[in-house]
Amino acid sequence: MSAKVIALSTNKGGVLKTSVTAHLAPIWAKQGKKVLIIDMDGQGNSAMSFGKIPKKIEDTMYDVLIDGMAAEVAIMNVYENIDLLPSNKKMRFFENDLKGPNKLLRLKNAVNHLRKEYDVILVDSPPTLGTTQGNILAFVDQVIIPFQPEPFSQLSLVEIVEGIEDIQENLNKELRILGILATLVDSRAGLHSETIQEARAYCDKKGWYMFETVIPRSIRFATELKRNGLPATISLPKHPMVQHYFELAKEIEERW
Ligand code: ADP
Ligand code: MG
């Protein structure tokens, strides 16, 4: 077995990196695939998505990356077929405490052997373009970039794509953009609104694939999520919002 290794990356916060990671994992887990989520964000939201309290978790990615703890020690099972390499706020010291050579290869060196243990590895990232994001991009094979389409917001895509191109040139020739995912789309304005069309045209021009699937904004859905304590692809599989995640999973499977 050799895992599909995909990061949800962008330098923007609040654009559903964690939500997409947490909702996709159960879809593949229920197909019998073994899924590992690696949380590289000190907010610890991936653990929270599965009802775990980050500050109560002892062994985390910080220990793996800074203290050389074996990844296997920090891995926790959060659902059938879903394992998590968690982070909590200790991870905020990672970039500062990182010493020695090959700083950008620390994640790859620590977890590369896990590729043969899983079918899918999803890496959830912090909203930054620093050393942490560099470690992620040096390890993964593919990147999904969540992106909130607003007038002129295409420009923010350029920054993360430049970061990806830089890593491609220097550390990871295999790295590719799996797709740009429009998130928090205002469905009242129409899922095929001018803004979406503009974003598609922009991605086409740049030669980046933009997923047909978009994730609409729904405050009510977000509230239901908070009440549930588990990703809605587990707890509310018939919810209309969840159908977007099933469509996205299919679209990813066609391309990975
Ligand atoms: P990121 O990881 O990129 O910072 P999150 O996945 O944490 O973003 O999402 C940001 C916030 O949006 C969270 O509070 C989450 O509960 C909420 N949210 C999730 N899905 C939706 C949605 N479809 N519409 C609106 N808000 C959502
Ligand atoms: Mg997040």
Give the pLDDT mean for 56-75. Answer: 98
Mean pLDDT of 108-120: 98
pLDDT (tens digit per residue) in 43-62: 999 999 999 999 999 999 99
Q: Specify the pLDDT at position 165.
A: 95
Name the residue with tokens 């953009």: 177
Distance 80 CA to ligand 2 centre (A): 22
* Inter-residue contact 83 to 35 (CB < 8 Å): yes
Q: Give the pLDDT confidence of 6-39 residue by residue, as tens digits.
A: 999 999 999 999 999 999 999 999 999 999 999 9
Mutate to test the pocket of ligand 1, among 19, 125, 128 (most ligand atoms within 8 A of CB): 19
Beta strand pairing call for 82-85 and 76-79: antiparallel
pLDDT of res. 59 = 98
User: Which of 5-19, 102-116, 139-153 has the weakest average pLDDT?
Assistant: 139-153
Question: What residues have CB less than 8 Å from 202, skipping those under 6 apart?
Answer: 154, 157
Is the per-residue pLDDT at 229 higher than 90?
no
Averaged confidence pLDDT in the chain = 95
pLDDT of residue 37: 98
DSSP letter, residue 135: H
Q: Residue 109: CA atoms inside 13 Å, Cβ hemisphere, count?
A: 12
**Is 151 a residue whose pLDDT tops 80?**
no
Give the pLDDT band (50/70/90) at residue 1. Answer: confident
Pairing assessment for the beta strands 4-8 and 120-124 based on DSSP bridges: parallel
pLDDT in tens, 163-203: 999 999 999 999 999 999 999 998 877 777 888 898 899 99
CA distance 237 to 84: 21
Q: Mutual orientation of helices 154-170 and 131-139 as an angle, nearest 10°?
A: 60
The preferred substitution site among 8, 11, 12, 16 for testing ligand 1, maximizing ligand atoms within 8 Å of CB, is 16
For 213, the 3-state DSSP assignment is coil
- CA–CA dist 85, 76 (Å, integer): 7
For tokens 């964000």, what's the residue? 41
Residues in Cβ contact with 65 at an 8 Å cutoff, skipping those fewer than 6 apart: 94, 98, 106, 107, 110, 135
Sign of CA pseudo-dihedral 168, 140, 11, 75 = negative
Asked if 236 and 244 touch (Cβ cutoff 8 Å), the reply is no
Q: What is the pLDDT of residue 73?
A: 98
Confidence of residue 150 (pLDDT cuts 50, 70, 90): confident
Residue 124 Cα: closest atom of ligand 1 = 2
Is 215 near ligand 1, meaning CB less than 6 Å away?
yes
Contact in structure between 183 and 15 (CB atoms under 8 Å): yes
In the structure, ligand 2 is a single-atom ion and the residues with CB under 5 Å from it are 17-18, 45
